[in-house]
Chain A
Amino acid sequence: SQQGEEDPQALSIQEGENATMNCSYKTSINNLQWYRQNSGRGLVHLILIRSNEREKHSGRLRVTLDTSKKSSSLLITASRAADTASYFCATASAFNFGNEKLTFGTGTRLTIIP
């Protein structure tokens, strides 16, 4: 079953503006990750936030996590044309042998207009 649901499904903004994407999930998690996918390619890991963290930064990326609401947001500041891609949240839950299972959402398609 799908764990993460992203909102909005698609987002178009002008270059230089900030882009915000949201992710909601259903069950308890170890951590939540965001991945990026350029058209027709594999996914690339962007950032990870643990269940006991509330906010994380990496360059122009800012991720927040609210475990009480079971939701996360990804903010991309000062967007660039090269940020055009699909963005997926993935929730990590405990699995056998101390391992984790990642479940992905449906993604947000971000288009940056030059």
Chain B
Amino acid sequence: DVKVTQSSRYLVKRTGEKVFLECVQDMDHENMFWYRQDPGLGLRLIYFSYDVKMKEKGDIPEGYSVSREKKERFSLILESASTNQTSMYLCASSFLGQSSGANVLTFGAGSRLTVL
């Protein structure tokens, strides 16, 4: 069973702390994504990566950075956490050209981050 695993389901951090959210996929997918989900705003794309060491800004990259040193791992970094970064963070991966011939995402279970 293919999987996207997010290392933490729940995190509580303090303002100003550096936060790492880890995501690992076992499907040999090239593409990986980080979204944040907030009530009434749906999912918003933070960063994505189409290959190792590649990264592209999404719609709301401010306050975040990412790292992709290995194909299976995509990390989201909050350099200095702020209260407005309290949210559900969702990682996803995909392989363009799979049977549907399109970019279909497989999601992790999510990481709920609270910044105090």
Known contacts A41-B109, A99-B50, A106 near B40 by CB under 8 Å: yes
Interface extent on A, as a size class?
A: 20 to 34
CA distance A105 to B69 in the complex (A): 30
CA distance A98 to B50 in the complex (A): 10
Contact A101 B45 (CB under 8 A): yes
Interface extent on B, as a size class?
A: 20 to 34
Give 1 or 0 for each of A8-51: 1 = CB within 8 Å of chain B CB.
00000000000000000000001101010000111111001010
Closest chain B residue to A2, Cβ basis:
B42
A-B contact count (CB 8 A): 71
Contact B42 A97 (CB under 8 A): no
Minimum C-beta distance from B89 to chain A (A): 11
CA distance A101 to B94 in the complex (A): 11
**Complex interface: chain B residues within 8 A of A104 (CB):** 35, 42-45
**Complex interface: chain A residues within 8 A of B40 (CB):** 106
> 9 A-B Cβ contacts within 8 A?
A2-B41, A2-B42, A4-B42, A41-B109, A43-B90, A48-B102, A99-B50, A101-B103, A104-B45
